[in-house]
Amino acid sequence: MDRQSKIYVAGHTGLVGSAIVRKLREEGYTNLLIKSHKELDLTRQADVWEFFGRERPDYVFVAAAKVGGVYINDKLPAEFMYTNLAITLNVIDAAYRFGVKKLLYMGSSCIYPRMAAQPIKEECLLTGELEKTNEAYALAKISGVKMCEFYNRQYGTDFISCMPCNAYGPGDNFDPEGSHVVPALIRKFHEAKETQAGEAVIWGTGTPIREFIYIDDIADAAVFLMRHYSGNGTVNVGTGTEFSIGELAGIIQAVVGFEGKIVHDLSKPDGTPRKLVDASKIFRMGWRPKVPFEEGIRRTYRDFLENMGQYAGG
Ligand code: GFB
């Protein structure tokens, strides 16, 4: 990938896609192709073919996806399956048909079995049952990983995939029902502080364990892999640091300055008990995450405060 390459970032308005665009621009890549959802619906095969045929990108980052937290994944499995599978099928196949030199497919650590041995190695894929709350999303993402492998095998393409742990950062979705835990707790604690509510509700038992990565670190890893990695095995992207949801709540409380009580809503799902990826494969290639967790949380809270009107719906 050189500075003149034509690079298509699918999903450039999303958390991961926007960070990839930022990273590429910082690094001097100027020939970037981006299309809003309105201009190009990636679930429509004919439109995707027309776009790839006309633009003929050299490199493609597939960061387009329908994503959400544990509750919305569980509530809308048909939508999560259909949208993510359609995007996956259309973009990967078009990349092959229209001669893309290299493609990176963005997955998620929820593709691994629910009870995978920790830290989770890439080889664990498809060795056990999936977590039920995100089975639909995981199946679509597993299909993407496998499509990359199968297209490489049958057609000799250079398609790779990576599996980041839970992402967070500025520009995240702060919607109370659909968001992931980090933006959800930032918003809940901030609102409880502002209204002097005295308590804030978090979902589940607080015992599940998660590993979080700042969005610019995922973008950095994606660009790094596009430059330095080719191969069939997927690549985990993580930090090696994990927290229980209870510990996470304590960290976010301190950053936001909410001193009230935490109440648990046990009608909401816990999801996977633990999800720590083994990132030694990418570490061995020389890549490391850069943003310490509390710093990332502070940046995300600052972004929430600056753009609160928009996130809170006005
Ligand atoms: O972030 P989250 O939705 O993602 O939830 P998952 C992580 C944990 O935080 C769960 C708890 O145990 C939740 O019960 N939690 C506590 C909360 N309070 C809240 C809250 O207010 N909102 C949310 N959302 N959680 C999703 C998957 O799983 O994350 C996807 O469903 C995807 O497929 C993604 O992989 C990264 O890690 O549980």
Q: What is the largest CA-CA distance in the chain?
A: 61
**Per-residue tokens: 1:** 């990938």
Handedness of CA 139, 168, 59, 10 (dihedral sign): positive
Per-residue pLDDT at 204: 97
Question: Looking at ligand 1, which residue's alpha carbon is closest to its atom 33?
Answer: 134
- Active-site pick, 8, 59, 112, 137: 137
Give, for ligand 1, the residue of 16, 70, 165 to mutate: max count of ligand atoms closer than 8 Å to Cβ: 70
Taking the C-alpha atoms of residue 234 and residue 217, their distance in angstroms, rounded to an integer, is 17
Ligand 1 atom nearest 109 alpha carbon: 35
Query: Is the minimum distance from the CB of 181 to ligand 1 under 6 angstroms?
Result: yes
pLDDT tens by residue, the chain, 314 residues? 999 999 999 999 999 999 999 999 999 999 999 999 999 999 999 999 999 999 999 999 999 999 999 999 999 999 999 999 999 999 999 999 999 999 999 999 999 999 999 999 999 999 999 999 999 999 999 999 999 999 999 999 999 999 999 999 999 999 999 999 999 999 999 999 999 999 999 999 999 999 999 999 999 999 999 999 999 899 999 999 999 999 999 999 999 999 999 999 999 999 999 999 999 999 999 999 999 999 999 999 999 999 987 776 53
137 is catalytic: yes
Write down the pLDDT at residue 232.
86
Residue nearest to atom 9 of ligand 1 (CA): 181
3-state helix, strand, coil in the chain (%, to 5): 45, 15, 40
Given this model, what pLDDT does residue 314 score? 38
Nearest to 241 by CA among 209, 202, 272: 209
Reduced to 3 states (helix: H, G, I; strand: E, B; else coil), residue 36 is coil
Alpha carbon of 108 to ligand 1 centroid (Å): 13
